[in-house]
Structure 1
Amino acid sequence: MKTVSFVAAAGIGLALAGCGHKAPAPEISAGPAAGTNLPRVADWRQVATDDDRDRIRGWRNSWTAAVAKARAGGRGPAIDALGLLADPDRALDEPTPPPGAYRCRTYKIGANGTAMADFTSYPATECHIENEGEVSSLYNVGGAQRPVGLIFPDTVARAVFLGTLVLGDETKSLQYGKDPRRDMAGYVERIGERRWRLVLPSPRFESLLDIVEITPAR
């Protein structure tokens, strides 16, 4: 199994630490990982674990199963209300959001376990996209569950996200590939004017599918 560390882009952590954020920005870079020999690459296939390759490859099955479970549980109207966000085939060109401040809102679809609802929406939280050269970084500043990782170019209408999940009051992200339960894999698409989504098929906790709506903060 490959292990990748998302190490800081110069100045990101220091810049945010002085701005009064509740949690410092996770340190992210596409450069060689501390303690690894991985080169700077734009091909996500050279970075992804086997498990995450499978998750990305099986995205449509995960999407179909999640929506079917939610509808069977009476949450069809909630799915329909998402509109284009819940259209699995909606994908425009230029899939990677430009650098800047954004709002990220997570929708969890299809319960994974008996303790969860079949549809859960969370309030939007602050998130950021940074230019890291051949790739971009995405990190959430607020919320109890915060995706942190890299966005890799893939096709004209899709980019691939690989990262880890930061929980609660944690201030550092785990190394990607170190704990499969915290690894995150999915894809990013543009679905409208200044509107994107991060799709996470088969997440490890709570749901069968996560969709994160990404819109500019201002």
Structure 2
Amino acid sequence: MIRAACLAVLCLPGPATAQDVALRPADRARLDAFEATVGPALLQAFAGGRLGDVDMLQEVLSGQPVAPLETTLPGDWSCRMFKLGGNLNPLVVYAPFDCTIAPDGSGFTLDKVTGSQRLTGRISLLDGRMVLTGTGYVADTPPVPYADLPPDAGGDGTIWPVVGAAEQVGPDRVRILMPQPVLESDLDILDLRRRPAAEPAPDIPADTVPDAPTPTDG
């Protein structure tokens, strides 16, 4: 099962080249190193992660991505970050937070709106692949659009560039794999699960609603 999960990710299309987004050179290098990064990070996570965390990671990696033009990304999502490899534990799984995805004409905006580390970015089609370009930031720091990030972004840990491959693997599941993130790990995986739409309140005819009791003294 572990080997199958690794192969499912490593057999993804090759690195993308931006067509309508000017990738920062360091972020282009991260995408170019996708395969070289993902394999060792997954092996480290599977070998050293806690059993329950490894089970969750395997489930996240299951499923083949649909074609980009078949995606149904807009909506409200529960999103959980997995951090693999690096100088921390082999596998760190965070609590789920809230994310939103909305269409913007030629792509989609993605915002992680809760948690101490936030994310704002854009998912667009680059050479046949859905790629996220965005900005990570701590909750009390004003976000900066990816295109406006300073060259040294990430040095102080309050704001940093984010780039990754986005895949929808079911009507209600999306995963974003981010190789060589600026902070902490060798590979970040953002697992998104669609939140069910709120059911509208039923219409109750006015004549069926009981009158409120008349207050009395005493």
Q: Same-fold call, TM > 0.5?
A: yes
Q: Which consecutive residues of structure 1, in runs of 5 or more, have no partner in the other structure?
A: 1-42
8 Å Cα contact 1:107-1:210 kept in structure 2: yes
- Distance (Å, rounded) in 2 between the aligned partners of 1:172 and 1:68: 34
Q: 1:99 aligns with which of 63, 70, 74?
A: 74
Correspondence for 1:196 among 168, 171, 174: 174
Specify whether residues 210 and 97 from structure 1 end up closer, same or farther in structure 2 by C-alpha distance, changes over 3 A only.
farther
- Please tell me the residue identity of whatever aligns with 2:194: P
Q: Residue 162 of structure 1: CA displacement?
A: 0.4
CA RMSD of aligned residues (A): 2.4
Residue aligning to 2:5: none
TM alignment of 1:1-218, pairs within 5 A = 43-44=18-19, 46-75=21-50, 78-86=53-61, 90-94=64-68, 96-110=71-85, 112-113=86-87, 116-154=88-126, 158-173=129-144, 175-176=146-147, 177-178=149-150, 179-181=152-154, 182-218=160-196
CA displacement, residues 39-65 of structure 1 (integer Å, 9 cap, x when unaligned): xxxx54641111111111211111112
Flag the structure with larger Rg.
2
Which amino acid in the other structure matches residue 148 of structure 1?
T
Give the drift of 1:71: 3.5
Moved more, 78-87 or 134-143: 78-87
Superposed CA deviations along residues 137-189 of structure 1, whole A, max 9, x for unmatched, are 10111011122111111355x30000111113224335544144211111100
TM-score by length of 2: 0.69
Distance 2:186 2:173 in 1: 23
Residue 13 of structure 2 corresponds to none
Amino acid at match of 2:124: F
Unaligned residue ranges in structure 2 (runs of 5+): 1-17, 155-159, 197-218
Contact 1:195–1:214 under 8 Å retained in 2? yes
1:82 aligned counterpart, secondary structure: helix
Question: Which one has a larger percent helix, Structure 1 or Structure 2?
Answer: 2
Number of aligned positions between the proteins: 171
Residues in 2 aligned to 1:125 and 1:81: alpha-carbon distance in whole angstroms: 16
1:69 to 1:91, Cα distance in 2 relative to 1, 3 A: same
Tell me: higher relative CO, structure 1 or 2? Use CA pairs within 8 A at least 6 residues apart: 1
Is the 2:19–2:127 Cα contact (8 Å) retained in structure 1? no
Paired residue secondary structure (1:79): helix
Q: Distance in 2 between matches of 1:216 and 1:74?
A: 26
- Report the Cα offset of residue 85 of structure 1: 1.9
The TM-score, its normalising length taken from structure 1, stands at 0.69
